[in-house]
A and B are shown apart, each in its own frame.
Chain A
């Protein structure tokens, strides 16, 4: 199958998972994309780059996940005054928003029907493309809000409900436009981009050795996954190997992050259904875990724990035993809560059949990560493309067929248990040794990829180095890009008051998507 993709022309890219680069022209771009679709490849991300200072081209890249590797297509755009490339959204629907974002940042057009701005809400002028090399990183522009044409639904008695960007609770900003008849939702349209902070541009002012700090802060609840992905990319480029103790501690931190997020979500889902008991119990467990994080890793949220070449600190004396007792209490507590949730009729009535994302639809839209697993798609990088230390761990893949809120709850419960099991194995087999091998400074123009299974799904960081230890281009991708459009389909057939529950069951990142 992979020979369809001109294997002899593929160049290897340094990465923690086997990756290849294929340079294509216009027809090759579309043809290969179609072939990838036929081969059931999973679309990962799309981004652009401004290389006019180097060789007078704009470039657009797209990455796919194949059974054995990652394939990146690179297409050079010659016409730099009106740069454009063939859009991929008819083949891979998830690409549409990424193309719109690429236009907002670089001005490269994807020749699509939907040309509305995605990230630019009027915070900078329409003829300015911030990621282009000539635009200064620190220049700011006066606000000039522009109307955003939402798709109108016509018919008798159809109203629009506009929610956001400021929401009633403590949640990130985003806008949701419902077209409803009474309480029944006919259509939901999202408008995101409110937390766009210019991360891509900011990367270019940082050195290679500090980029992980920005990567971690793209989406605070996936800090470990992003910082690991960045460090993996840098380490692959510089052929630095991470010492075994640090590798194990990295995985431990990642699993802790996964567990903490799942605990928080399970509590919040109970609370959103009016069952505050669930929130009390789960938030108690999450707080215990975060405090254990402080005692063992040095901070509640591990923003700066993973550093290029290793980890920032060691487990203290007795830290391992503390964690093991913590895991025991947690396992027991979560199992009790699981049976309480399962037997609570009112709660199950809210969870079952709500927000159903069918398997067929999830496949068609290229769902990834937790949302995909809850709709019966078996994909988990830790199992399919294991990188160190997961190649030695053999994690179990958790799926549920039904795709409703209850399925996403089940997947979270199962993953918590599985992560606890993995944490035990990691702790019991923790090798001794140093914590960091400082990577060398990479020369300019090297491309590297880091792909890590974060708690939402595959988190990808593509790093291109600049001369003198800087970063030329860094594209960080959160799996929320794939999964946000799914929400617009999961809500169909449900009523407006069920939306918060459905949204929380996905719990996608706004900031990770906005960048």
Chain B
């Protein structure tokens, strides 16, 4: 027990502040502030592997390591689609996973955001469209945001998730404004 505690103490807090995504886009901290304001920084993600090679999953799992610390930003991965706000899909939607993906999508309560991660999710990647692969996720369910890469780095994925939520929220408030006016 004491060796565990001493290693915990020696390691210290490892979470990093993520660098700005690009010179024009606002630094990540301020995007996180936007999320804080809008969604109350309580985001639940349901991930579905729709035929990925596992590369994107490895980078998604890295989001839970102490450096990227997704939970510290108030985002967590949930087990049940009924608990989720965001559906994160990896892979080029194999024919065998089409049904499962659609059902998961249907089980997520509104409002929801769908993000396709990786080149495969974006456009089918190197697998493309075939008898066994439906191509991109957008061909099966509506997608709000795509995070390209093979596999995309965790910092990019995190930025993409935050972006997607901000813009979806922006669209929702535009709709609300239009309804009210």
Contact B66 A198 (CB under 8 A): no
User: Which of A137, A195, A284 is in CB contact (< 8 Å) with B65?
Assistant: A284
User: Which of A130, A138, A510 is in CB contact (< 8 Å) with B129?
Assistant: A138
Q: Count B-side interface residues using an 8 Å CB cutoff.
A: 52
Complex-state Cα separation, A280 to B14, whole angstroms: 10
Contact B96 A193 (CB under 8 A): yes
- Distance to closest chain A CB from B133 (angstroms): 5
Complex-state Cα separation, A130 to B104, whole angstroms: 28
Stretch at the interface among B21-29, B33-41, B120-128, B169-177: B120-128
Contact A198 B132 (CB under 8 A): yes
Contact A197 B100 (CB under 8 A): no
Which of B51, B125, B128 is packed against the most chain A CB atoms within 10 Å? B51
B139-157 Cβ-contact flags toward A at 8 Å (1 or 0):
0000000000011010000
Complex-state Cα separation, A121 to B98, whole angstroms: 11
Contact A281 B53 (CB under 8 A): no
Across the two chains, which residue of chain A brings its CB closest to B64?
A283
A214 in the interface (beta carbon within 8 A): yes
Q: Count A-side interface residues using an 8 Å CB cutoff.
A: 61
A contacts with B: majority SS: loop
Contact B95 A140 (CB under 8 A): yes
Across the two chains, which residue of chain B brings its CB closest to A194?
B96
Contact A197 B67 (CB under 8 A): no
Complex-state Cα separation, A197 to B93, whole angstroms: 8
Contact A173 B65 (CB under 8 A): no
Complex-state Cα separation, A123 to B77, whole angstroms: 29
Given contacts A123-B95, A143-B99, contact A130 B131 (CB under 8 A): yes
Contact B60 A135 (CB under 8 A): no
Across the two chains, which residue of chain A brings its CB closest to B132?
A198
Across the two chains, which residue of chain B brings its CB closest to A174?
B49
A172 in the interface (beta carbon within 8 A): yes
A213 in the interface (beta carbon within 8 A): yes
B57 in the interface (beta carbon within 8 A): yes
A219 in the interface (beta carbon within 8 A): yes
- Distance to closest chain A CB from B85 (angstroms): 17
User: Which of B60, B92, B94 is in CB contact (< 8 Å) with A170?
Assistant: B60
Complex-state Cα separation, A382 to B8, whole angstroms: 37
Question: Which A residues touch B49, using CB under 8 A?
Answer: 170-173, 195
Contact A198 B133 (CB under 8 A): yes
- Distance to closest chain B CB from A133 (angstroms): 14
User: Which of B58, B60, B79 is in CB contact (< 8 Å) with A221?
Assistant: B58
A239 in the interface (beta carbon within 8 A): no
Contact B67 A284 (CB under 8 A): yes
Question: Which A residues touch B125, using CB under 8 A?
Answer: 217
Stretch at the interface among A241-249, A338-346, A405-413: A338-346
Stretch at the interface among A29-37, A51-59, A161-169: A161-169
Contact A123 B96 (CB under 8 A): yes
Complex-state Cα separation, A361 to B11, whole angstroms: 43
Question: Which A residues touch B66, using CB under 8 A?
Answer: 280, 283-284
Across the two chains, which residue of chain B brings its CB closest to A275?
B4
B181 in the interface (beta carbon within 8 A): no
Complex-state Cα separation, A173 to B11, whole angstroms: 35
Complex-state Cα separation, A287 to B63, whole angstroms: 10
Contact B132 A124 (CB under 8 A): yes
B3 in the interface (beta carbon within 8 A): yes
Contact A283 B130 (CB under 8 A): no
Contact A340 B65 (CB under 8 A): no
A139 in the interface (beta carbon within 8 A): yes
A320 in the interface (beta carbon within 8 A): no
- Distance to closest chain A CB from B54 (angstroms): 4
Contact B52 A283 (CB under 8 A): no
List of 9 A-B pairs having minimum Cβ-Cβ separation, nearest first: A123-B95, A220-B55, A198-B132, A168-B79, A283-B65, A220-B53, A121-B96, A220-B54, A195-B51
Interface residues of B (CB under 8 A from A): 3-4, 7-8, 11, 14, 47-62, 64-67, 77, 79-80, 91-92, 94-100, 104, 125-134, 150-151, 153
Known: A194-B51, A197-B92. 19 other contacts (CB 8 A): A122-B96, A137-B131, A138-B128, A138-B129, A138-B130, A139-B131, A173-B100, A196-B94, A197-B94, A198-B133, A217-B126, A217-B150, A220-B57, A223-B55, A281-B7, A283-B66, A284-B11, A284-B65, A300-B59
17 contacts between A and B (CB under 8 A): A123-B95, A124-B132, A130-B132, A138-B128, A139-B131, A165-B96, A170-B61, A171-B57, A197-B133, A201-B131, A201-B132, A220-B55, A283-B64, A284-B65, A301-B59, A303-B55, A340-B4
